[in-house]
Amino acid sequence: MPRGRTVNPQRRNVVCAKKLSQQKTEGVLRSSPELAEANEALRIEITERQQAEKQITRQNALLAGINRVLQEALTSESEEEVAGICLQVAEKLTGSKFGFIDELNEAGRVDAIALSNPGWDAGKMPKSDAVRLLKNMEVRGIYASVIRDGKSVIINEPTSHPEWFGLPEGHPPLTCFLGVALKYGGKTIGLIGLGNKEWGYELADQQDIETLSVTFAEALMRNRAEVKIKNLNGNLERQIAELQAINEELEAFGYSVSHDLRAPLRSIEGFSRALLEDYAGALNGQGNDYLRRVEEAAQKMNQLIDAILALCQVAKDELHREEVDLSAMVKKIHGELKERQAERQVEFLISPGLVVNGDARLLRIMMENLLENAWKFVGKNPRAKIEFGVTRQGDKTAYFVRDDGSGFDMAEAEKLFIPFQRLHGANEFPGMGIGLATVRRIIHRHGGRVWAEGQVGKGATFYFTLGN
């Protein structure tokens, strides 16, 4: 006993008594038939606990792998990168030495979208060569049934499999194989292939990779969708930049038209008028006629410039949306048209209470052009009719302006909305050929569309929708 330590005799006796009792009890158990049952129950309990702990470890590893695939898919730049991450997770989960992920192409053959570095480093073929080799491959060999039947396979003796046909030169040796079908939307789109687990593959390996394959297929399609959206956004940004450049050019053109072209036109018009006023007597009838034509051409050019500038301004101005009563607006425009030509007999039918959301100033320009267009083309009809109303086109509300005027050939309907395209001669019906182009631009700015229906000699109807 160590020096300086004092032991209580009573405590020592109690400890000795407990040890003696324990030894006696153990002796009884050793001699009892219940000992074997107790040991077996203990062994089963320990085994079940170990299996449960192993299962929990596998599940945690699987969940961690799934989370990694999902997280990496959000930031990966390409589907090959997503596939590479999934393959790394699959190899780690199963303890595989190497693997690949193949995808079915449109020709029904397979392309490798992921190959593991460790496996190919063990072979004689560089991975870069393998990637080129494993493109557009025929579906055959031990993995063919995975693609063909959409079912997983475990092959722990590949060389004895009936569909084994060997390995290409430089391919890593294959001691065992696990193939799991990749499915999306109920269809097989490829497979995950794994090789050379040290003691062969088990059903638990297959179940883990089947679970992982569902996540990977979703992540792959999500990545593709995001890449597609990114490309579309890139194209949209380029188109916006091009549109901005075009708008800037239009503004520059408008400035040039309003300043640079008007000055010489004013000179032409002014000098023509001066010649007519001061030297009409010195010219014969033909000379005076020529000067009048020059003056009229200059005036028409000025009108065209005004129309072009108005069209450019429509595209440039910012929209100020508000509730607009189109019925009241049409009624007012009708009054103005009637005041200009009181002698005309034109019946106006206006559906009441048609209220829309839009820019009041631009909508006024649009309705003026549509109604003036109808007013013009019913000019030869002694008792004409113009109607403004509403109808349904599918799930959209469509407004219309209908007339019983001269109409048009439907084969030329698209020309109606092109600037300066005219379906009738200027002598027959006057105008610049810019009104309907202005209408379309305003409607497009409101997120709607415009179209026309007509028949020669039987009138025309112009429909339009307005976005929210």
Q: What own/partner pairs with CB < 8 Å and gap ≥ 24 does 290-297 have? A: 294/268, 295/268, 295/269
User: Which architecture, in CATH terms, is 321-464?
Assistant: 2-Layer Sandwich (3.30)
Task: Convert the pLDDT of each residue in 404-425 to its tens digit.
Answer: 888 887 877 777 877 666 555 4
Torsion of CA 255, 258, 261, 264, to 10 degrees: -140
Domain ranges of the chain: 57-229, 242-316, 321-464
CATH topology of domain 57-229: Beta-Lactamase (3.30.450)
449: left (phi over 0), alpha (psi -120 to 50) or beta: beta
Bridge partners of 102?
A: 112, 191
CA angle 112, 114, 119 (to 5 degrees): 105
Dihedral sign of CA atoms 11, 16, 17, 19 in order: positive
Task: Convert the pLDDT of each residue in 224-270 to its tens digit.
Answer: 888 788 888 888 888 888 887 877 777 777 667 666 777 787 888 88
Task: Convert the pLDDT of each residue in 72-121 to its tens digit.
Answer: 776 777 788 888 888 888 898 899 988 888 888 888 888 888 887 654 55
What is the pLDDT confidence band of residue 164, given thresholds at 50, 70 and 90?
A: confident
Beta-sheet pairing, 187-195 with 177-184: antiparallel
Query: What DSSP string describes 412-451?
Result: GGGGGGSTT--SS-TTTS---S-HHHHHHHHHHHTT--EE
Cβ neighbours of residue 457 under 8 Å, at least 6 residues apart? 406, 407
User: Quick check: 55 pLDDT over 70?
Assistant: yes
Dihedral sign of CA atoms 98, 104, 109, 111 in order: negative
In this prediction the pTM is 0.48
